[in-house]
Structure 1
Amino acid sequence: MKATIKEVAKEAGVSISTVSRVINGRDRVSKQTLRKVQQAVDKLQFRPDHVARTMINKKTKTIGLIVPQLSNEYWALMSEVIQNELWSMGYTTLICSTDSEVDKESAYLKMYIERRVDGIIYCSFPYTQGATQDQVDILRQSGIPVVTLDPAISGFSCVVGDHLFGSFSAVEHLIQLGHRSIAYIGGPAVSIEREFGYRKALMMYGVNVEESLICLVNGQSFSDGHNALMKLRESGAAFDALFCGNDLLAFGAIKAMEEAGVRVPEDVAVVGYDDIFSARLFKPALTTVRQPIPDIAKELVTLLIQAVDLDPDQRPARKIVIPTELVVRESSGAAQPVAASD
């Protein structure tokens, strides 16, 4: 039979209110009292009624996290760091991966609302404006605090990478190495600003933007990069450098070139984006734009927890821009000595 809080109090020789304070962590108690209550909880295998506690405190101590794809190393690491940050602050994380499917996103958002999560970290990339508006309506009507990563939504705080600068620096690097026929593989799943940065760098350096060298894909996986590179080759487009909207796209493109007998970086220089851990292990080691995942995760969690205790009309909509950094390795043909920490 399940032990009650009254039985725990009797076993520990303290009042019920003291046990409640220990369980909910609302007030400090002496180390001796804390030890007695913990021993009683362990002995009786007491488990608090979370539903009842939620009704009293109006808090579940749970945060919902939506990401596009956990099979992507970038999102897997981001999820892990966010989860650890939240855990250190006393929150558990309910993680949902949508595979960038609009129906899944909407269903998960509704599930979070039904489960009364204390907040939502929204890290997905809807493809159509209509779907985005549907999801925005769901979020606003819920009154639950929301912080987004990259998709800036009016009225909500967001954390964004400086993708325009990051992609500009990637293409600028290739131009400074003497390349003028630079292809791009990207799409809506990897932020439109990365394409903008690609175009801006070419225009700023007086290089023609060849639309035939731009291949847009709906996904962000290894196979998407592989297929995109094959499509570029089949079109007859000639290029001596390639910028990819993320590292997995770059890995897939390099593999496709390897299969076709095209050497990297001797025949085609390649730059990726994100700097996932595999980028430094890949052969050739990938030149890429680094996004500091720990910094991004910390800002997301900080913004959200600050909003949890505020009424909806008191929550400021803040925008935090995270700097990006070009990391030069072998794939662009200009590898520099790599620091041990890299």
Structure 2
Amino acid sequence: MKKTIKDVANEAGVSIATVSRVLNKKDRVKETTRKKVEEAIKKLNFNPDQIARTMIMKETKTIGLIVPVLSNEYWSSVSEVIQEELWQAGYTVLLCATSTWDNPAERESAFFRNLIQRKVDGIIYATNNDFHKNGYHPMVNELIDYDIPLVAFDQNIPGISKVRGMHLRGALDAVEHLIDLGHNRIAYIGGPLFSPDRELGYRNAHTLKGLAVFESLIKRGSPTFQFGYEAMSELLESPEKFTATFCANDMIALGAIQCLDNMGIRIPEEMAIVGYDDIKMSQLIKPALTTVQQPIGEMGAAIVKLLLNLIENKGDILSPQTLVFDMKLIIRESCGAVNSNSQVSMS
């Protein structure tokens, strides 16, 4: 006969509520009492029924994680870090990847509603889809109504605790590095769909160095390998001249590098390339990619800590927190110095 939480309570000589606190690793249990309960659990070979536990404790020990795509190594790494942090805290993850850059709103809203139905204890919104206006997400109010804590990873949603990277500074450092190497016509391949701070950093670097920004050297689109290839192809086919390119993520940079290689343009002798994110592939390609490194481990741990704090203090009025992390320029082979006068004709 299957043992119940009541059997454990009777065996240990404590209340059902005390057994529940031990099972859920709450602090308000004396060490001697905790040991008695743990011994009773072991003696009875008790395994808590998850459905019953959910009904009693009103928690599922499950967290929803929404990311844009897993084929991008950056997002798969972020997901792994967050999942491991939550696992160590006793939570499992329901991972939802939109896998599209064209119309994420409908799919993300469907994910939110499904996670609400599954009664997750909290949601980490880790996406770079900026389809909402002024940082507002249409599902935020619905989550508030259901009392489900929400934290944002690199999204500026008003009133929501978040972890963000200093992308404006990271991009500025990357472009300033190219300028210091002698480049005065630098292309930018990025897009309005994610991290506009990176384009702003690109622009600010030019301003600080007294250089003009050439709008014709800016290409915007989805943060994918394919877009990087196509954008670089368009730049090469135009009459514009440039000797360096700053890409808003490493996947774009890899696509751009493939295009340059197919066109027989040498890196870095004829074209310097800098990416962003420092995915593992950036170290493996030849030449190795200069890029901006994000502290994924620290950011993942921080977002989990923010969410667990909201879960543990559910019902309390907590002020939203914003944790901002520094980026680091990793200098490798792809940004080698080029004589600023030896511009490459792209016609």
Q: TM-score scaled to structure 2, two decimals? A: 0.87
Task: Please give the alpha-carbon distance, in whole angstroms, between the structure 2 residues aligned to 1:87 and 1:124.
Answer: 21
Q: Which runs of 5+ in 1 are unaligned?
A: 335-342
Alignment partner of 1:221 is 2:224: yes
Listed one character per residue, the Cα deviations across residues 66-115 of structure 1 (whole Å, up to 9, x for unaligned) are 11111111111111111111111111111111124111110111111111
Residue aligning to 2:328:
325
Equivalent residues in 2 for 1:1-342 (5 A)?
Answer: 3-5=2-4, 9=8, 14=12, 17=16, 22-26=22-26, 27=29, 28=31, 29=33, 31=35, 34-35=38-39, 37-38=41-42, 40-41=44-45, 47-99=47-99, 100=101, 101-129=104-132, 132-217=136-221, 219-311=222-314, 314-333=317-336
Task: Please give the alpha-carbon distance, in whole angstroms, between the structure 2 residues aligned to 1:319 and 1:124.
Answer: 16
Listed one character per residue, the Cα deviations across residues 214-258 of structure 1 (whole Å, up to 9, x for unaligned) are 0001x2121121111112222333210000000111011001100
Q: Which runs of 5+ in 2 are unaligned?
A: 338-347
Contact 1:109/1:138, CA 8 A, preserved across alignment:
no
Contact 2:68/2:129, CA 8 A, preserved across alignment:
no
Q: Structure 2 vs 1, CA of residues 35 and 64 (structure 1 numbering), >3 Å: closer, same or farther?
A: same
Q: Structure 2 vs 1, CA of residues 240 and 76 (structure 1 numbering), >3 Å: closer, same or farther?
A: same
Q: Structure 2 vs 1, CA of residues 20 and 135 (structure 1 numbering), >3 Å: closer, same or farther?
A: closer
Q: Structure 2 vs 1, CA of residues 278 and 211 (structure 1 numbering), >3 Å: closer, same or farther?
A: same
Contact 1:8/1:37, CA 8 A, preserved across alignment:
no
Contact 1:160/1:322, CA 8 A, preserved across alignment:
yes
User: Over the residues paired in the alignment, what is the CA RMSD in angstroms?
Assistant: 2.4
Q: Point out the more displaced range, 51-60 or 62-71.
A: 51-60
Shift of 1:182: 0.2
Residue identity in the other structure for 1:211: E
Task: Please give the alpha-carbon distance, in whole angstroms, between the structure 1 residues aligned to 2:65 and 2:5.
Answer: 36
Contact 1:22/1:37, CA 8 A, preserved across alignment:
no
Q: Point out the more displaced range, 321-330 or 133-142.
A: 133-142
Task: Please give the alpha-carbon distance, in whole angstroms, between the structure 2 residues aligned to 1:278 and 1:76.
Answer: 13
Task: Please give the alpha-carbon distance, in whole angstroms, between the structure 2 residues aligned to 1:170 and 1:6.
Answer: 58
Q: Structure 2 vs 1, CA of residues 309 and 32 (structure 1 numbering), >3 Å: closer, same or farther?
A: closer
Shift of 1:137: 3.2
Shift of 1:310: 2.7
Task: Please give the alpha-carbon distance, in whole angstroms, between the structure 1 residues aligned to 2:95 and 2:330.
Answer: 30
Q: Structure 2 vs 1, CA of residues 138 and 238 (structure 1 numbering), >3 Å: closer, same or farther?
A: farther
Shift of 1:179: 0.2
Task: Please give the alpha-carbon distance, in whole angstroms, between the structure 2 residues aligned to 1:129 and 1:34.
Answer: 49
Residue aligning to 2:340:
none
Residue identity in the other structure for 1:79: S
Task: Please give the alpha-carbon distance, in whole angstroms, between the structure 2 residues aligned to 1:139 and 1:21.
Answer: 26
Listed one character per residue, the Cα deviations across residues 299-328 of structure 1 (whole Å, up to 9, x for unaligned) are 101111111133456121111110011110
Residue identity in the other structure for 1:137: N
Task: Please give the alpha-carbon distance, in whole angstroms, between the structure 2 residues aligned to 1:258 and 1:226.
Answer: 10
Q: Structure 2 vs 1, CA of residues 24 and 164 (structure 1 numbering), >3 Å: closer, same or farther?
A: closer
Figure out how many residues of one structure are paired with residues of the other and give that number: 327
Q: Structure 2 vs 1, CA of residues 333 and 121 (structure 1 numbering), >3 Å: closer, same or farther?
A: same
Q: Percent identity?
A: 45
Listed one character per residue, the Cα deviations across residues 153-205 of structure 1 (whole Å, up to 9, x for unaligned) are 11111111000100000000000000011000001343000000001101111
Q: TM-score scaled to structure 1, two decimals? A: 0.88
Task: Please give the alpha-carbon distance, in whole angstroms, between the structure 1 residues aligned to 2:5 and 2:129.
Answer: 50
Residue identity in the other structure for 2:95: I
Residue identity in the other structure for 1:192: P
Task: Please give the alpha-carbon distance, in whole angstroms, between the structure 1 residues aligned to 2:306 and 2:5.
Answer: 38
Contact 2:12/2:36, CA 8 A, preserved across alignment:
no
Q: Point out the more displaced range, 156-165 or 300-309.
A: 300-309
Residue aligning to 1:337:
none
Contact 2:66/2:95, CA 8 A, preserved across alignment:
yes
Q: Point out the more displaced range, 123-132 or 64-73.
A: 123-132
Residue identity in the other structure for 1:88: Q
